[in-house]
Amino acid sequence: MASKHETASTARPIDTIAVCPKAELYKGKVERIGLAPHGDGYNFSVHAGDPNITSVTLVKHDPANPDVILETHELSPVDYDNDNFKLYGGYFDGNLRPGDVYSLTVNYEPGHVNKEVFEPYARQVRNYERGVDGKPRFLAVVPPITPIYDRPSNPAVKGRIIYETHIVDQTKQNSDIPEDIRGTYEGFAHPANIKRLLELGVTTVNIMPIHFGVPDPHLWNMDDGKGRLNHWGYNSMGFFAPNPNYAHNKDNPTQEFKDMVDALHSAGIEVILDVVYNHTAEGGQGGPTYGEKALDNDSYYHLESDGSYANHTGCGNTLDASNDITRQMILDSMRYAVEELGVDGFRFDLLLSLLRKKDGEIDRSFLDEIMNDEVLRGCFLTGEPWDLGRPPLPHDFNLSPVQPWSDHFRDTARDFFNWGAGTIGDLADLISAIGQVNFITAHDGFTLRDLVSYLQKKNDENGEKNKDGADNNRSHDHGVDGSTDNPDINKARQRTMGNFALLLLVAEGIPMISHGDEIIHTKHGNNNSYNLSTDRNWLKDPNDLTVDEKNAFNFFKTAIWARESGSIGMRNPVYTWLKYNGENIPEGDSYWDSRDNVLGVYRPGAGNPNEEVSGTLYYVNGSDQDKEVTLPVSIGKDLLAVVETASGRAEIGGLGILTAGQKFTLPAKSSLFLLEVPKSDQGEKQAREDAEQRKIGGVALRSDALGGNFLNPTNRSTPLALAA
């Protein structure tokens, strides 16, 4: 296939340098591609497999003025244990030091334009800037040498609660964090942010992309004249370097990121990286050339038979993970993130595209390689099990290490609670499904609040004439478009939001909360705010929340606590499915096919007197009418109501007691969650101690800081009354 390096691009043409001394020969065997410390200096290597390349030069720039070249060193071919690689490299003793800025020049056969390119394995990057020719350039930086030091152990998480978040959005407006570090790795690591995560009940943060990325070409010059950045970061270019935009210390963003991970680990919180290995910022035909296109276009990318770029991602190109060159870069990036940065797992953007072979068919060998890798096989893995080619199939990820995002859970739940579609059998399937990550909302799409407030997206401020973003949102405005003072509509919206949140947290699958939903953040109908670094994305200051926003936070916090206290997520769960009258629902019963009915599910507890796990009971009334419900006599225990969505009440101390066989009214379109009351004082003591295990800096949070007295005996004698 013809090389693409001669196409129109934003790579900088470089004249052949007349005098270019050769670098010293690479010392020893290549253990790591890229820059690798060796003795008192550095080995350096890069794959450059384009057949038209004649030589590769490392160019050292003046840090104060990168347009000034200080030194050039021609690299020599380097042997490697994989013949598919064509490495160029050299040894640098004294002429490369921490803080030095460098790029690569690839020189081609006559008739092709030589290019300055970005080094794909760069561990640190100088922020993108325009050179004298006005085009973007991205320079690698020799990172500081960090002494070996003890780091906190990775948390042993039990009962994972994932919180999808963004480095900037999470802290940009938090007044408890010093202003100069808000929106940075250091700000994310601040005790005020960590305390907030712990108070909510988060075990795992899924951090949106932090790999160095660049704006999409069309964002440089929008039609409205407002240049924008890719705020979300799904346009990666360097898969090893933390984005310097998120660093307070621009000289060492990698160490700042590692310090953030250590702070989260010390608090018992896992760190999952959102990784975009499916495409690069180079785009498709006619797109910019930053690195991979110039170095080995045919190996890095999926190409069609006519030489154009296969676009399984919707971003112009698709990285070819079936090729040794690309696959090793991805796996090396993952190993670096685990071994050096210290992360616990990965969320793959458009994961299915990483499994595509040259012919477009699906091959799971990439996942098999992860399963057999000494460094990666213990990582938590999740991701989008689709790409633009087709939706996921049930067998795609069976017996794989991946627990994929469930768009089926999202769509079925939205249809049920927003539009009254589906049956209670469909809902039962959502509750019992395992081996997946459940979610109602994510970074792309409506927020939870907007999901119940808008029928159509409102993305004009993105500068793309409202053509971007999904149109099929399964949303409902409950009668009025956008915000309203109508109390009935606001009550209906609150009830629906509560139903979504409670279903997410009582289902067996791993729940993922999108940042801001816990305080009912709104983007005012914008469902694709990827290029807005504004308060459309920034979360509100926790010290400036309204009563409704505080209540929403308490609702989520209580539902998470109840999940952790109960029998949800246990191995080999046992379900008893219940009708409104307390009877079991037999398999094949027509009751399953109804939507206008009540579904109950009881999951018994387990454990011993020293470590009790409460049984749980969840009821949902999907109909438009209030329903009288009878608790099953077979449970034989008192039940403490902790969350109900009819009025949005949630209390860790409990809302009141229901007894076996008792009748109560479950309001229309509402749900209720109950815990079995511990049989002993020891069980109550254990519940309190479990909650106090969430620590910040080694200091246990008081139980009242997490929402009151646990299983308050006063509330045990309070009859439960549900508001219609």
Tell me how far apart the alpha carbons of residues 391 and 351 are, in angstroms, rounded to a whole number.
11
543's CB contacts (< 8 A; 6+ apart) are 175, 176
Q: Given phi > 0 = left and psi -120 to 50 = alpha, else beta, which region is 612? A: beta
Using the CB atoms, write b or e for 72-100: b if 16+ within 10 Å: bbbbbebebeeeebbbbbbbbeebbeeeb
Rounded Cα gap, residues 617 and 22, in angstroms: 73
Amino acid at 445: G
Is residue 423 a contact partner of residue 594, using CB atoms and an 8 Å limit?
A: yes
The whole-angstrom distance between residue 166's C-alpha and the CA centroid of its chain comes to 8
Is residue 584 within 8 Å of residue 601, measured between CB atoms? no
For the CA atoms of 545, 547, 548, 552, the dihedral, rounded to the nearest 10 degrees, stands at: 70
Rounded to 5 degrees, φ, ψ at 321 are -75, -5
| Distance set, CA 118 to CA 59, 135, 302 (Å) | 11, 13, 20
- The contacts of residue 18 (CB under 8 Å, 6+ apart) are none
CB burial class (10 A; 0-12, 13-18, 19+) of residue 110? exposed
* Residue that is written with structure tokens 């990439």 in the block: 366
- For every residue of 274-303, DSSP letters joined together read EE--S--TT-STT---SSHHHHHHHHHB-B
349 annotated active-site = yes
For residues 300 and 311, what is the distance between their CA atoms, to the nearest angstrom?
13
Return the SS3 of 507. Answer: coil
105: three-class secondary structure by DSSP: strand
Report the C-alpha gap between 330 and 299 in whole angstroms.
13
Tell me the β-bridge partners of 395.
none
Q: Identify the DSSP state of 307.
A: S
Residue 619: name the closest of 577, 565, 563 by CA: 577
Which two structure tokens, joined as six digits, stand for 422? 């589906």
Give me the torsion for CA of 598, 604, 609, 611, rounded to 10°: -90
3-class SS of residue 129: strand
Give me the catalytic one of 186, 320, 384, 396: 384
Query: CA separation (Å) from 126 to 34, 100, 186, 213, 353?
Result: 16, 10, 19, 11, 30
Cα 494 from chain centroid?
Answer: 26
Block residue for tokens 């199939």:
393
Instruction: Report the amino acid identity of residue 633.
Output: V
Distance of alpha carbon 401 from alpha carbon 378, whole angstroms:
9
SS3 12: strand
Closest CA to 215 of 192, 193, 232: 232
Inter-residue contact 513 to 164 (CB < 8 Å): yes
Contact yes or no for 377/412 (Cβ under 8 A):
no
Which residue among 199, 298, 320, 349 is the active-site one?
Answer: 349
Helix or strand or coil: residue 125?
Answer: strand
Q: Give the phi and the psi of residue 651 in degrees, each rounded to 5.
A: -150, 125
Q: Is 538 left (phi over 0), alpha (psi -120 to 50) or beta?
A: beta
Q: Is 396 a catalytic residue?
A: no
User: Using the 8-state DSSP alphabet, how is residue 443 labeled?
Assistant: S
- Rounded distance between C-alpha atoms, residue 666 and residue 647, angstroms: 11
593 CB-near residues (< 8 Å, 6+ apart): 423, 425
User: Which residues have a catalytic role annotated?
Assistant: 349, 384
